[in-house]
Amino acid sequence: MKKNETYKNPVFFVSAIIVGLLVIIGAFIPEQFGTVAQTLFDFTTVNFGWFYLLAVFIIILFLVGISISKYGITRLGPSDSRPEYPFFTWIGMLFSAGFGVSLIFWSVAEPMSHFFETPFPGIEPQTEEAARVAMGYSFFHWGISQWAVFAIAGLAIAFLQFRKKRRGLVSAAIDPVVGKNRGIAHTVNILAVIATVMGVATTIGLSFSQLNGGLSSVFNIPNNLGVQVVIALIMLACYLISSGTGLDRGIKWLSNLNLGLALLIMLIVFLLGPTIFILNSFVLGLGDYIANFVQYSLRLTPYTGGEWVNQWTIFYWAWAIAWSPFVGAFVARVSKGRTIREFVAGVMVIPPAIACVWIAVFGGTALYSDLNNGTQIAEAVNEDVTVALFEALGVVPFTDILSIISILLIFTFMVTSADSATYILGTMTSKGSLNPAMITKIIWGVLITAIALVLLFTGGLNALQTASLTAALPFTVILLIMIISIWKSIRAEYKPKDKNRSS
């Protein structure tokens, strides 16, 4: 798509205008914006929380079912196609779509939060029982449910883009059900762009704070907005350079670096930390996750009226659903040539497995220290979640070295998250082009960084994050339509006359 055509595309300019207006509102009246955003989010979670839980559970059942069925051998591309990227690179690229930096942020913060304030009223906080529940629930929140949401969006887009030669747009993934309606297509794609920009901007903005917290704890660098501006500008320069090298260089190289660094630091903390406790807590947490999977998946509190499920599980599912257009589109792009079975197994199993091990290592180290050494990591996390990882690293040897590696890892994850986001936003606003114009990616990259900085200055970052989650409700409907779309499209591949057709 030519550059001048990009700017004439209504998806580009309408979404840019709406995002700009939301940022201006968030910058000048952050408190009022936050109040309205929270009201809208509370309305959706209170009235449709059941819908989010049920939809995610249905998505899991569908993906498992289709992967083990005869349709599982179908390739996401021509029948003779093969994967574009090696397995290690592919997994690294999956982490690049925003997941990696979020996991680093919450791997200690979440279990310690549940340890400090337990998910069940009858459990006393900061006890052995609270630690066990904290680990099991953290596994659940970072397990297959979250990645099933990304997988269903990615599968629908990849199948129709690479197998059926459709455009790589969210709207194209529902065409088999709703038909080719330009108004619906533009609306869905605009909503996808807005949700992506707001979600990525808030995640990157929060990462600026976490990175500044790490630099402050290791090098005594001031923790203030001035430092965060410098971090933002360095990151912007890095991901624009990476973006300029293309998908097969910048994101690919950084993804390999990210995954390699992540596995290295995880192994070091595992060996230096309470190794046996980590192993035991991982196995027990995995058992609790499996045993309570259905109960946690459908847990609501209509009889007791508790808010915990809304604040955690439904919030997570809303976050994943709101991010599904971006993560799903990126996962689709890097998964060309894989079979449906490979895709579902890779996307729904490998990242959650790594996440659970990561949480067991870092979260387990923090839990062990509070339970056995009298530290107060849970209290520190309750005061400021951005210091969680560095508080945990403070109880193992070579703290400064590990903190420096962690700071580098957070930074590279931020760069690849922004890089993959600008690529997908370029694709979304260029009618699904696999090679969006560089100027389009630069525009979105600068906008995302500017949004994060403006709202950090004005205090509107959390409000924008909350506002972005309201997109989860319409996208939940779209994801369910994608299930029908996938089923309808793949059944057409296996009509009786083609029943012996192989992938």
Nearest partner of 446 among 223, 186, 226, 204, judged by Cα:
204
In one letter, which amino acid is 246?
A: G
pLDDT tens digit sequence for 465-477: 787 788 889 999 9
pLDDT score for 412: 82
Whether the pLDDT of residue 434 is over 80: the answer is no
* Longest CA span, the chain: 70
In one letter, which amino acid is 395?
A: V
In the beta sheet, which residues pair with residue 75?
Answer: 339
pLDDT score for 482: 95
Distance between CA atoms of 421 and 440, rounded to whole angstroms? 12
Residue 99's pLDDT band, with cuts at 50, 70 and 90, is low
pLDDT score for 377: 94
Q: Where are the alpha helices (DSSP H) in 292-436?
A: 293-297, 308-309, 315-333, 340-372, 377-383, 388-393, 399-428
Whether the pLDDT of residue 24 is over 90: the answer is no
pLDDT tens digit sequence for 228-273: 888 888 888 887 777 666 655 666 777 778 778 888 999 999 999 9
DSSP string, 22-72: HHHHHHHSHHHHHHHHHHHHHHHHHHHHHHHHHHHHHHHHHHHHHHHSGGG
157 or 166: which leads in pLDDT: 157
Whether the pLDDT of residue 1 is over 50: the answer is no
Structure tokens at 250: 């910048």
276 or 180: which leads in pLDDT: 276
pLDDT tens digit sequence for 328-337: 888 898 899 9
Read off the DSSP letter of residue 5: H
What is the mean predicted confidence (pLDDT) over 438-458? 81
In one letter, which amino acid is 104?
A: I
292 or 244: which leads in pLDDT: 292
pLDDT score for 501: 47
Distance between CA atoms of 225 and 209, rounded to whole angstroms? 9
Distance between CA atoms of 290 and 428, rounded to whole angstroms? 37
Distance between CA atoms of 267 and 245, rounded to whole angstroms? 31
Please count the CA atoms within 13 angstroms of the CA of 429 that sit on its side-chain side: 31
**What percent of the chain lies above the pLDDT cut of 90?**
39
- Report yes or no: 81 and 162 within 8 Å, Cβ to Cβ: yes
pLDDT tens digit sequence for 206-225: 778 778 877 887 788 888 88
452 or 302: which leads in pLDDT: 302
Provide CB contacts within 8 A for 200, sequence distance 6+.
Answer: 98, 326, 417, 418, 421, 448
Provide CB contacts within 8 A for 165, sequence distance 6+.
Answer: none
Read off the DSSP letter of residue 163: I
In one letter, which amino acid is 238?
A: C
Q: What are phi and psi of 85, to 5 degrees?
A: -125, 145
Place of tokens 């703290």: 399
Structure tokens at 228: 């965060």
Whether the pLDDT of residue 8 is over 70: the answer is no
pLDDT score for 497: 54
Whether the pLDDT of residue 498 is over 70: the answer is no
Whether the pLDDT of residue 116 is over 80: the answer is yes
pLDDT score for 249: 63
Place of tokens 């999977």: 293
Distance between CA atoms of 331 and 93, rounded to whole angstroms? 8
Q: Where are the alpha helices (DSSP H) in 245-314?
A: 252-272, 275-291, 293-297, 308-309
- Report yes or no: 446 and 236 within 8 Å, Cβ to Cβ: yes
How large is the angle between the packed helices 315-333 and 472-493, nearest 10 degrees?
Answer: 40
Whether the pLDDT of residue 503 is over 50: the answer is no
pLDDT score for 218: 78
- Report yes or no: 236 and 259 within 8 Å, Cβ to Cβ: no
Residue 406's pLDDT band, with cuts at 50, 70 and 90, is confident
- Report yes or no: 20 and 443 within 8 Å, Cβ to Cβ: no
Residue 59's pLDDT band, with cuts at 50, 70 and 90, is very high
pLDDT score for 502: 44
Distance between CA atoms of 113 and 196, rounded to whole angstroms? 27
pLDDT score for 64: 96
Whether the pLDDT of residue 110 is over 80: the answer is yes
Rounded mean pLDDT of the chain?
A: 86
Nearest partner of 200 among 455, 408, 383, judged by Cα:
455
In the beta sheet, which residues pair with residue 339?
Answer: 75
**What percent of the chain lies above the pLDDT cut of 70?**
94
CB atoms within 10 A of CB 2: 10
In the chain, what are the domains?
3-493 (1.20.1740)
Provide CB contacts within 8 A for 219, sequence distance 6+.
Answer: none
